[in-house]
Chains A and B, each alone.
Chain A
Amino acid sequence: MRYVDEYRDAAAVRRVADAIRAAVTRPWRIMQVCGGQTHAIVRFGIDELLPREVELLHGPGCPVCVTPVELIHRAIAIAARPGVVLCSFGDMMRVPGSDRDLFAAKAAGADVRVVYRPLDALTVAASEPTRDVVFFAVGFETTAPATAMAVHEAARRRLANFSLLVSHVLVPPAIEAILGAPECRVDGFLAAGHVGAVMGGDQYVPLAARHRVPIVITGFEPLDLLEGIHRCVLQLEQGRAEVENQYARAVRASGNETARAMIERVFAVTPRTWRGIGPIPASGLRLREAYAAFDAELRFDVAGVGGREPDECRSGLVLQGRIKPPECPAFRVRCTPERPLGAAMVSSEGACAAYHRYRRSESAWRPTST
């Protein structure tokens, strides 16, 4: 068992696709809220295996894509201060602000470094005590345990030259916002397996009940995705609206309690603005008062720094499942990975990047139904 190839077996995948075809009697729209799943769907052509009745919509499952423009400008403003080292995940480097990105800041002389893990930023802080090391903390519930541990360790080791620019966001409030929108067209959800691994399946139970919508926690491999879709279609056909766990090999009902306890210790829930979508109540994490000394927004007094989303970018509609990337007039014309209008074209989890990278032909995707 390697936990990869077994879930890419073509015969097994086709069998589940046939079972979906046998089960479906009417049109259903199923949204996934995970950039990793979006990329797997487009890469493996999962949507092309489905009957016409089942449409997959890509939701706001990319934390880099939803990081608001003002935070990118705050990161750039902090990086420009003398003595600062700004550490960021590589995905954030090319995300366009109003007029520039972190790469441009680096080219202009700022010390901006790519790290793979928040603890790497802490290592920089420990080895360069005369520098102010700031970690640009972007991510969903999956990354929050790593960020929380970095802060906790910084406090324990008294690393006063370490701080965080926090842009953490939470998935269930985003699902709630999509379901609450008057133009909502989603019948069921595939919830991200790794968010479930941290937070558990139980957190979705009130959402499923309140909105009468099936939510299936699903893995990332082709067989996982098709099983998740099959479970969701069965629920819809049978008129059920329950939380199901397709990804039981990694997800327990209460999640990872050790990781959740650390998140709870370091962070408090806060309202956040999602790029392309707008403000969503209680949809993010901020540092608790006990850790306020590590808050880069306070330390560098950048709360007033703002920014504007580029007008032509329609990734907000893409992130809400209202259009697919090729339906944007700028897609592949005025918006490419080399010259992006928005984050979704450059993030490794962005839907626009997935369609640009993996689409084999123009006919391989289905326009969004209305």
Chain B
Amino acid sequence: MCLAIPGEIRSVHGGELRTGRVAFGEVVREVCLAYVPEAAVGDFVVVHAGFAIARLDRAEAERTLVYLDEAAAALEAERGPPARDREPR
């Protein structure tokens, strides 16, 4: 019942319950968008049991990808340069 992969909103429909077509790779499903009133076509959402429960924040998503660089920079600012090289071997 828990789908961890985010889907992309392809279309939005109004009505009593706001719904939309959401693509998970090749699979497109009808999803209720009532809990993400701010989400629009092109946004990625996390979906559980037919409901979008969160809209993904692109800036935060990119920060996760540079997490180690940010953590190292924060540590360096606090303690001086790192004691050893942590680049990939």
Q: Are B89 and A194 interface neighbours, CB within 8 A?
A: no
Given A16-B68, A153-B17, A117 and B50 touching (CB < 8 A)?
Answer: yes
Q: Are A19 and B86 interface neighbours, CB within 8 A?
A: yes
What DSSP secondary structure best describes chain A's contact surface?
helix
Taking CB atoms, residues of chain A closer than 8 Å to B63 are 248
Taking CB atoms, residues of chain B closer than 8 Å to A256 are 35-36, 53-54
Taking CB atoms, residues of chain B closer than 8 Å to A224 are 64
* Segment 12-27 of A: residues with Cβ below 8 Å from B: 12, 14-16, 18-19, 22
Taking CB atoms, residues of chain B closer than 8 Å to A223 are 64-65
Given A4-B5, A12-B65, A35-B2, A251 and B35 touching (CB < 8 A)?
Answer: no
Size bracket of the B interface: 35 or more
Q: How far is the CA of A201 from the CA of B36 in the complex (A)?
A: 18
Q: How far is the CA of A118 from the CA of B17 in the complex (A)?
A: 14
- A11 contacts the other chain (CB 8 A): yes
Q: Are B5 and A143 interface neighbours, CB within 8 A?
A: no
Given A16-B68, A145-B35, A249-B61, A91 and B50 touching (CB < 8 A)?
Answer: no
Name A19's contact: one of B5, B35, B68 (CB within 8 Å): B68
Taking CB atoms, residues of chain B closer than 8 Å to A153 are 17
- Minimal Cβ-Cβ distance residue in B for A4: B5
User: How near does chain B come to A138, taking the closest CB pair, in angstroms?
Assistant: 8
- B46 contacts the other chain (CB 8 A): yes
Q: Are B49 and A117 interface neighbours, CB within 8 A?
A: yes
Q: How far is the CA of A236 from the CA of B48 in the complex (A)?
A: 32
User: How near does chain A come to B70, taking the closest CB pair, in angstroms?
Assistant: 11
User: How near does chain B come to A324, taking the closest CB pair, in angstroms?
Assistant: 22
- Minimal Cβ-Cβ distance residue in A for B50: A117
**Lowest 9 A-B CB distances belong to which pairs?**
A117-B50, A146-B49, A197-B54, A220-B4, A249-B61, A248-B60, A249-B60, A250-B54, A259-B35
A interface, CB within 8 angstroms of B: 1, 3-4, 6-7, 11-12, 14-16, 18-19, 22, 35-36, 40, 63-64, 89, 91, 116-120, 138-139, 142-143, 145-147, 149, 153, 194, 197-198, 219-221, 223-224, 227, 230, 234, 246, 248-251, 256, 258-259, 262, 349
